[in-house]
Amino acid sequence: MYSTYEAPFAGSFADESAPSDKKKVIILGGGPTASAMGIEFDYCCCHACFALDDAGYETIMINCNPETVSTDYDTADRLYFEPLTSEDVLEIVATERKNGTLHGVIVQFGGQTPLKLARALEAADVRSSALRPMRSTSPRTAIASSACSTSCT
């Protein structure tokens, strides 16, 4: 699905998202990457989709990079081709919360681009699999904090 900021020429706005009434999890993809770069992020995002599907969750991928496997039509149940910005991601979260139960947003598999959204998600009271956004940049603190992470489920 794609969003637009343009008003329709005639008629009213159309919303094709139609959120389901299922239990669901959003996965943030890696976003823009150079060709043949970031394949490990794409691999992780795909396998997160597969594992969540096996666990009975509807999977929702948000990614703006059409050159990845995570944006294939059959990887996630729902796919949003949107920029990985706080504004766009929070708009999708609000849309998906309209129906069903959103259990959280997985940010850590896509690399730095989605990880940078952790503070915005926390500020908007969106449950994410990210560590609490860290105030320290010390590698030792990061390693210690990663041992305390929790999942979305």
Tens digit of each residue's pLDDT (9 = 90 or more) over 94-124: 999 999 999 999 998 888 888 889 889 999 9
Whether residue 4 is predicted with pLDDT greater than 70 in this model: the reply is no
* 8 has a pLDDT exceeding 90: no
Does 132 score more than 60 pLDDT?
no
pLDDT at 152 over 90: no
**What is the C-alpha to C-alpha distance for residues 114 and 149, in angstroms, rounded to an integer?**
16
Count the helix, strand and coil residues of the chain and give each as a percent rounded to the nearest 5: 35, 15, 55
Instruction: Pick the closest to residue 25 from 83, 85, 80, 96 (CA basis).
Output: 96
Higher pLDDT, 32 or 148: 32
> What tokens appear for 5 in the block?
């900021």
DSSP class of residue 70 equals G
Residue 22: Cβ within 10 Å count: 14
Which one, of 88, 48, 108, 40, lies nearest residue 68 by Cα? Answer: 40
Q: Over pLDDT 90: what percentage of the chain?
A: 38
Model confidence, pTM: 0.77
